[in-house]
């Protein structure tokens, strides 16, 4: 073999059509696999997105249902003899009423709760920022024609932070406190605290409860008070 | 496996165009070591194209050269292009004597005894002036004449003779002592 043939062979071994062809086919196969993987990923994204979307809807529905359930589900504290049921007032029909009343502030009003004989300061559990208590008497007329507001309708004890948070305790001895709205209490779930039945409602950031205790009829409304604060307060007054 | 009909078409094009395309790439590339990569990339793109559209009414060789041209441009960054610019004298000032040589340079006249010509080819490819391996490929592999090589590389015939003659002398010096490299 001549030098020329040897050099030619060496070049052919290095730059070889068969080797290049095999490399091209390998790359084609590799690209095809990559594409099919990408296609698989691309097309699998559609059902995955669909599953995520459906799961999201199911989850949200479940959560909403669960939230409703939690609100409606009784919270039972056997130790303190409490079965707490909160009715969602937003799902109820409410009617605004025109009331003809006169409210007098800064007056002495009867105290409706049982008093702690031991003078324990923690007898009533009130949020510490609600440091102000204001008293009111609500008067109505004897009849429509009367000009005088001389009939005591109910008393109001307003426990407040002088801002947005307050507990308004309305109570009356012989009849229910005057309300300026009406809603049907039918089918409302009952809360029991220390053997006393209450109807508790929630509307936005407000709670509302109706019950009779110690010879009085109570309507208690709250504003910006948490459920825990509200239930702690109720438990502390209903002894 | 790739689609049979496309593969048949691809194989046919490959067989008919490989040598011409390789010659074009060897001539145009900045480093002969990249020739395999560039030719593979070119045919790979052709494969992707023939899978997408019909190429029946075109001059496939010209079409491939167009693809190869783009691949060569993409293959080299500006820095790489600057690095591979030859600093070898391409004019004919110092090669008058060589120019008197016959067009047919006989490699057999050089006593190169090393058996491993793959190593020798690697040495040729490793030369900074990449016109050297190009000229060797065109002259010894494709068996083009000095005139044809000069035309392909757009240089003078004397320059090509000079490259081959001087490189053979270098090979003789490096590999001609009984097969033992002078490294």
ipTM computed for the complex: 0.82
Check: CB of residue B176 under 8 Å from CB of residue B110. yes
**Tokens of residue A121, six digits:** 């300061």
Q: Which residues of A touch B120 (CB under 8 A)?
A: 7, 10
Burial of A17 from C-beta contacts in 10 A (0-12 / 13-18 / 19+): middle
Confidence check: pLDDT of B47 > 60? yes
Cβ count within 10 A of residue A50: 10
How many whole angstroms separate alpha carbon A211 and alpha carbon A216? 8
**Tokens of residue B114, six digits:** 């090393």
pLDDT tens per residue, range B58-92: 788 899 999 999 999 888 765 566 555 554 445 44
| Sequence-ordered alpha helix ranges (H) in chain A | 3-14, 17-72, 227-237
**CA angle at A123 for the pair A117 and A124, rounded to the nearest 5°:** 135
* CA A170 to chain centroid: 24
**Tokens of residue A50, six digits:** 């669909």
Can you give the pLDDT at residue B99? Answer: 54
To the nearest whole angstrom, how far is the Cα of B155 from the nearest Cα of chain A? 23
How many whole angstroms separate alpha carbon A159 and alpha carbon A162? 9
DSSP class of residue A178 equals P
pLDDT tens per residue, range B36-45: 999 999 999 9
Segment among A71-85, B43-57, B124-138 with least mean pLDDT: A71-85
pTM: 0.50
To the nearest whole angstrom, how far is the Cα of A35 from the nearest Cα of chain B? 12
B4-83, what's its fold? Rna Polymerase Sigma Factor; Chain: A (1.10.1740)
Task: Pick B56 or A156 by higher pLDDT.
Answer: A156
Q: Which residues of A touch B107 (CB under 8 A)?
A: 2-4, 7
**Tokens of residue A227, six digits:** 């459920």
Any idea where the domains of chain B sit in the sequence? 4-83, 96-175
Q: Which residues of B touch A13 (CB under 8 A)?
A: 118
Q: Could you list the pLDDT tens digit for every one of the 239 residues in chain A?
A: 788 888 899 999 999 999 999 999 988 888 888 877 777 777 777 777 788 888 888 777 766 655 544 445 566 776 667 788 888 877 666 666 667 888 898 888 988 888 777 655 456 788 989 988 899 999 988 887 888 888 899 999 999 998 889 999 999 988 888 887 777 777 788 888 888 889 898 888 889 999 999 899 999 999 999 988 888 888 888 87
Interchain CB distance below 8 Å, A7 and B14 = no
CATH 1.10.10 for domain B96-175: yes
Q: Count CA atoms within 13 Å of residue B16 on its CB side.
A: 11
Can you give the pLDDT at residue B87? Answer: 47
């Amino acid at each position: 073999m001549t030098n020329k043939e040897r050099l030619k062979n060496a070049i052919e071994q290095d730059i070889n059509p068969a080797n290049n062809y095999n490399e091209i086919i390998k790359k084609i196969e590799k690209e095809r696999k990559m594409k099919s993987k990408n296609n698989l990923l691309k097309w699998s994204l559609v059902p995955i997105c669909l599953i995520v979307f459906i799961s999201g809807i199911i989850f949200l529905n479940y959560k909403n249902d669960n939230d409703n359930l939690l609100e409606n589900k009784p919270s039972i504290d056997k130790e303190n003899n409490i079965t707490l049921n909160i009715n969602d007032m937003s799902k109820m029909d409410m009617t605004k009423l025109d009331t003809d009343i006169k409210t007098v502030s800064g007056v002495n009003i009867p105290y409706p709760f049982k008093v702690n004989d031991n003078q324990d300061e923690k007898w009533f559990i009130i949020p510490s920022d609600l440091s102000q208590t204001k008293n009111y008497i609500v008067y109505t007329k004897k009849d429509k024609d009367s000009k005088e507001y001389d009939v005591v309708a109910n008393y109001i004890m307003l426990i407040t932070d002088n801002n947005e948070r307050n507990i308004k305790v309305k109570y009356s001895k012989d009849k229910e406190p005057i309300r300026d709205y009406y809603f049907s209490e039918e089918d409302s779930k009952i809360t029991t605290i220390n053997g006393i039945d209450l109807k508790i409602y929630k509307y936005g950031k407000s709670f509302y409860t109706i019950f009779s205790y110690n010879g009085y009829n109570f309507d208690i409304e709250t504003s910006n008070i948490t459920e825990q604060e509200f239930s702690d307060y109720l438990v502390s007054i209903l002894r | 496996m790739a689609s049979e009909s496309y593969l048949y078409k691809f194989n046919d094009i490959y067989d008919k165009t490989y040598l011409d395309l390789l010659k074009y790439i060897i001539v145009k590339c900045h480093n002969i070591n990249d020739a395999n990569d560039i030719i593979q990339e070119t045919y790979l793109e052709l494969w992707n194209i023939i899978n997408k559209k019909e190429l029946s009414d075109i001059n496939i060789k010209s079409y491939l050269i167009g693809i190869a041209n783009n691949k060569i441009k993409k293959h080299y960054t500006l820095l790489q292009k600057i690095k591979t610019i030859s600093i070898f004298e391409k004019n004919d000032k110092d090669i008058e004597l060589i120019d008197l040589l016959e067009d047919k340079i006989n490699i057999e006249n050089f006593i190169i005894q090393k058996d491993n010509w793959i190593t020798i080819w690697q040495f040729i490819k490793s030369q900074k002036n990449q016109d050297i391996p190009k000229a060797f490929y065109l002259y010894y592999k494709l068996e083009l004449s000095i005139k044809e090589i000069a035309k392909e590389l757009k240089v003078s015939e004397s320059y090509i003779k000079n490259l081959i003659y001087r490189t053979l002398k270098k090979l003789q010096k490096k590999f001609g002592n009984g097969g033992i490299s002078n490294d």
